[in-house]
Homo-oligomer: A and B are copies of this chain.
């Protein structure tokens, strides 16, 4: 029997509600499967912690997390009380960086029972591989002059290593999907980073002659996701472009509250972090009405990364069955509460 030691960071807002729900579901699936169990250790880090201690997590937080197999995170942010650059760069982005979770994977797939805002949403099944460690999110830049002459500069830094790693991961995924990789570029407007991105893509694709490829500018690709999502398969994108495309992915699925995500250390040197696309949604927090499916589906991604594919499929089936039966939260057109959705998913596991 495998025991997975998971560090749990519910974080802020609805994270505090959806994480325990997802853990109930994951415990149940472990029980059904019988070949593994979870050992959950909670860390109360986030904005409340910050308001009390002046930091988002203790100084040795990263060292502590390294002792766990994986990290299961809810959401971070309380913009009314803690500026985003403190809460996110002090916890979420800090973990992504320091744990070298350089790949972010986010599927967008139309599940039975979900109402897409698209009129004719054919059966799309997209996986966005987002570079997660550098690029536009490089925390490099500064300001000069003041008053009406003030100038702000933001530097995007792309390394061959980081760019190539994301691309190779995308090509590997495409081997097991429809065999198609789309590269998100903007080399016609961003004349240093994106021509470099394109060059690396041209080099990497040579190693995957069986995979079909295309490069699309991010503006056109965003439109494409709305017009013809069914023609897309794996997309590889920079940190910022991946961020935008995956929220769009959530939108065409019907709700950001559905979309799962994984921040992967593909070398498995440090734990990976499983964290849904949605944020802390302070406006609906504490009311028991948040959609737990993004977090639960994120649990499926953790099962897959741990090698438990059968349990992962079982979980996704239970989610679909629940949605198809009409048990859903308000954001996706239902009237059920968070815990009703969770209970239904648990029932549908069997």
Which A residues form the contact surface with B (CB < 8 A)?
77, 84-85, 88-89, 93, 115-120, 136-137, 139-143, 147-161, 186-197, 218-220, 222-224, 226-227, 239-240, 243-244, 246-248, 250-252, 256
Contact B243 A193 (CB under 8 A): no
- Interfacial chain B residues near A246, Cβ < 8 Å: 219
- In the complex this chain forms, how many copies of it are found? 2
Say yes or no: B227 contacts A117, CB within 8 Å: yes
Contacts of A192 in B (CB 8 A): 140-143, 152-155
Interchain CB contact under 8 A, B190 and A240:
yes
Question: In the complex, which of the residues B137, B142, B143, B189 contacts A240, with contact meaning CB atoms closer than 8 Å?
Answer: B189
Q: Are B251 and A137 closer than 8 Å at their CB atoms?
A: no
Contact yes or no, A219 B191, CB < 8 A: no
A154, B155: Cβ atoms closer than 8 Å: yes
Given contacts A154-B190, A186-B240, A223-B251, 12 further A-B contacts (CB under 8 A): A88-B188, A115-B119, A117-B227, A136-B189, A150-B160, A152-B158, A152-B193, A152-B195, A154-B158, A222-B248, A223-B248, A244-B244
Question: What would be 26 A-B contacts, judged by CB atoms less than 8 Å apart?
Answer: A84-B187, A85-B188, A117-B226, A118-B118, A137-B189, A141-B191, A141-B192, A147-B160, A149-B159, A151-B159, A152-B193, A152-B195, A154-B191, A154-B193, A155-B156, A186-B243, A189-B239, A219-B244, A220-B256, A222-B244, A222-B247, A223-B247, A223-B251, A226-B226, A244-B244, A248-B248
Q: Please give the distance in Å from A310's CB to the nearest CB on chain B.
A: 33
Given A117-B119, A247-B223, A252-B226, verify A84-B188 contact (CB < 8 Å): yes
Chain B residues contacting A141 (CB-CB under 8 Å) are: 155, 191-193
A138 to B184, CA, bound (A): 20
A247 CA to B241 CA in the complex, in Å?
Answer: 14
Q: Known: A117-B119, A186-B240, A256-B223. Is A191-B89 also a contact (CB below 8 A)?
A: yes
Q: Report the separation of the CA atoms of residues A227 and B250 in the bound assembly, to the nearest whole angstrom.
A: 10
A219 proximity list for chain B (CB < 8 A): 243-244, 246-247
- Report the minimal beta-carbon distance from A178 to chain B, rounded to whole angstroms: 21
Q: In the bound complex, do residue A196 and residue B85 qualify as a contact, i.e. CB atoms below 8 Å apart?
A: no
Provide the bound-state CA to CA distance between A185 and B274, in Å.
Answer: 25
- Chain B's closest residue to A278 (CB) is B220
Q: Which residues of B contact A190 (CB under 8 A)?
A: 136-137, 154, 240
Q: Which of B119, B155, B157 contacts A116 (CB 8 A)?
A: B119
Neighbouring B residues of A116 by C-beta, 8 Å: 119
Query: For residue A152, which residues in chain B have a CB less than 8 angstroms away from its CB?
Result: 157-158, 192-193, 195-197
